[in-house]
Amino acid sequence: MFSNLIGQESIADMLRCEVNNDMITNSMIFHGNKYTGKLTAAFELVRVLNCDGDKSKNCKCSNCLRVNSLDFNGMILLSRRNYYYETVELIKNYKQKKSAMLRNQIYKNLKLSYMPLENFLIDGAMSENDKKSAFKYADKVSEIIDNKEYNSVELEIIEETMKSFYDLYRTPNIPVNQIRNMLNWTYLSLDVKARVVIIDKVDYLESSSENILLKRLEEPSSNLYFILLAENKNRIIQTIKSRCRSYYFSDLSKESIQYIISKKYEDDNTDFKNLLSYFHNTDPCSADNSKVKLTKLINLTFNKNHSFSELYLFLESEKDKNQLIALIQGLKNCIDKEFLCREYSSGEGENLEFPILSIIDYNHLTYITDLLNTMLQRITIYNLSPKNQLEGFLYPIKEMVLNDKI
């Protein structure tokens, strides 16, 4: 059990012990940074809870086979996780190695992408046009997904359909109607040992979705389990946290990262600080690839020597919605880091990466953080224009900088 959970030995030991002693709680939060094994642990727990055999990794009982192939009717996954760039890396390596392991991982990513699109889950959660488009992409993939090998044409179809599919998602958070549909499913009677709901990015749910989820958590059923995945547990409302047992997934060690890249993805280039950097090394919106633009944006905003018109021209040159969102998220991360620097250095600040932020006093830094959180909420939940939001946020701050008010 849980031997596939690389680099999270303490979590694996804890879950193994709880399973063996019949101490698994009905509501859990798996929290930690991206690509630390939360979803892997969730699926392994689904398998173990429904196993009719010895619960070992190589168990061949029908339930284990169905869970491993992501065809088990006793679990649902609510997620808007983007597997495109990870799949791009897999396809690149598969073209060179043609290995069964890489083919199976591509297959798994395709299944994970379309699992949240079951008819009963998306009813009322997507527009009819978006549903038609999603089903069109799914039909394209269904014709080739079970092939024992993928040729170059099929790999191109997989890559193109995955990219187009994720463009349908207007916001990264799960719609409230999908949460309602999930709630209806939990009251169905199914002939399985354990029914499991996995909700990804639960820390990004709207308040109405949180209230629906909370209501169900307050009415536990003996064979119904909720596994909530989050990057930041502090963003989850306290009433939900109080009804769940939390498991923290720490960042993977360099050795674990190298092992996963070399063994699971069969790539000889393992020199990456984390799996996020590896999967998104071709993503223009990744933190590493947008760092140059982020540095320029921070200096243009907070350095008095740069004029208002320079900031205006920079923002006018940025047209891509996803890259603008990446800049906003990057700015928020920098501000959060500045707070941490001050907390651990008696308020003086030691932000060597962005020293310009050290000149901002604590009250203004708090004010900027509140504005950033509000802006991200408007973009991610209400789908407002990131360009308009960023302009409305930065221009008043720039004016304050030029007038020595910050």
DSSP string, 21-60: TT---SEEEEEESTTSSHHHHHHHHHHHHH-SS---TT--
Cβ pair 357, 296 in contact under 8 A: no
Q: ∠ CA 320-323-326 to the nearest 5 degrees? A: 155
**Among the listed residues 203, 384, 12, the one whose alpha carbon sits nearest the alpha carbon of residue 213:** 203
The confidence score (pLDDT) of residue 19 equals 96
The confidence score (pLDDT) of residue 170 equals 65
Residue 196 above 50 pLDDT? Answer: yes
At 280, the pLDDT band (50, 70, 90 cuts) reads confident
| pLDDT tens digits, one per residue of 86-105 | 999 999 999 999 999 999 99
**Among the listed residues 340, 319, 334, 335, the one whose alpha carbon sits nearest the alpha carbon of residue 387:** 319
The confidence score (pLDDT) of residue 251 equals 96
- Our CA dihedral for 384, 388, 394, 395, rounded to 10 degrees, sits at -140
The confidence score (pLDDT) of residue 351 equals 59
Q: For residues 239 and 211, give the distance between their C-alpha atoms in angstroms, rounded to a whole number.
A: 9
- Cβ within 8 Å of residue 325, ≥6 positions away: 285, 379, 386
The confidence score (pLDDT) of residue 302 equals 95
Residue with tokens 């799960």: 174
Cβ pair 141, 157 in contact under 8 A: yes
The confidence score (pLDDT) of residue 180 equals 95
Write down the H helix ranges in 34-191.
Answer: 38-50, 62-68, 84-97, 100-114, 119-122, 128-142, 152-166, 176-185
pTM score, two decimals?
0.81
Cβ pair 173, 204 in contact under 8 A: yes
**Among the listed residues 396, 383, 399, 397, the one whose alpha carbon sits nearest the alpha carbon of residue 325:** 383
| pLDDT tens digits, one per residue of 301-328 | 999 999 999 999 999 999 888 889 889 9
Q: How many residues does the chain have?
A: 406
Residue 385 tokens, joined: 């224009």
Q: For residues 58 and 45, give the distance between their C-alpha atoms in angstroms, rounded to a whole number.
A: 14
| pLDDT tens digits, one per residue of 102-150 | 999 999 999 999 999 888 899 888 889 988 998 999 999 999 999 999 9
| pLDDT tens digits, one per residue of 76-85 | 999 999 899 9
Least-confidence region, from 9-23, 163-177, 199-213, 223-237: 163-177
304: DSSP letter:
T
At 347, the pLDDT band (50, 70, 90 cuts) reads very low
Q: Average pLDDT in the 9-26 region?
A: 96
